[in-house]
Amino acid sequence: MPTVQEPPSQRQTLNLRIKTEERDLIDRAARASGKHRTEFILDATRRAAEETVLDHALLRVGSDAFAAFQARLDAPPEPNERLRETMQTPPLWAK
């Protein structure tokens, strides 16, 4: 069976006009994360785009599945050792 090869992905140019202070901040953050400016901007933009798309995704379920989902949300958590430890551990900002 022959294999289908995908064409190489083409790269496009995206031009931005930003203030010097914004560019300097981006450069500082990129250096701190060990990335080049373009790589840093692309990673951050991709994450923001994925979050936005997911925030606007519509999930359709049947009425039985939705009722079960609501019941689990409304039910109090069952006590267990991990929950007890979590509730008894002071938050990091309070130390």
Q: Report the interhelical angle of 20-32 vs 37-55 (nearest 10°).
A: 90
43 SS3 class: helix
Q: Which regions in the chain score pLDDT beneath 50?
A: none
Q: What is the pLDDT of residue 72?
A: 94
Q: What is the pLDDT of residue 44?
A: 97
